[in-house]
Amino acid sequence: MFLIDCPNIGPRNASEFRFRGEFVERPPNPEDPASDDAWTDFLYMRENKLGVQKEWWYHRPSGTWFIAERHTKTHEIVRTYLWEDRDE
């Protein structure tokens, strides 16, 4: 069991969190029919990286959604941050 540093609360046991998937950028204009493939990619296609992955987590006790950068084999968490604090 590893620890995750919740941006709101601080380091907590991984069992308090729910993994919510790889971070994927939304397509710029989902209403545009020409972007159907981009929408499919957003819904289904994933990088599934063996390495440091940017992903969503949800801290259940505090209701915090945040992003973590975690190595998918060693589970080392490089950093965690709220979406509004991400690098552009």
Site for other proteins in 55-74 (CB under 8 A): 55, 72-74
Burial classification of residue 66, based on how many CB atoms lie within 10 Å of its CB (0-12 exposed, 13-18 middle, 19 or more buried): buried
**Residue selected from 10, 15, 26, 63 as contacting other proteins according to rule CB under 8 A:** 15
Nearer to other proteins, 39 or 81 (CB): 39
Amino acid type, 43: L
- Cβ–Cβ < 8 Å for 54, 23: yes
The residues binding other proteins (CB under 8 A) are 1, 15, 18-19, 21-22, 36-37, 40-41, 43-50, 53, 55, 72-75
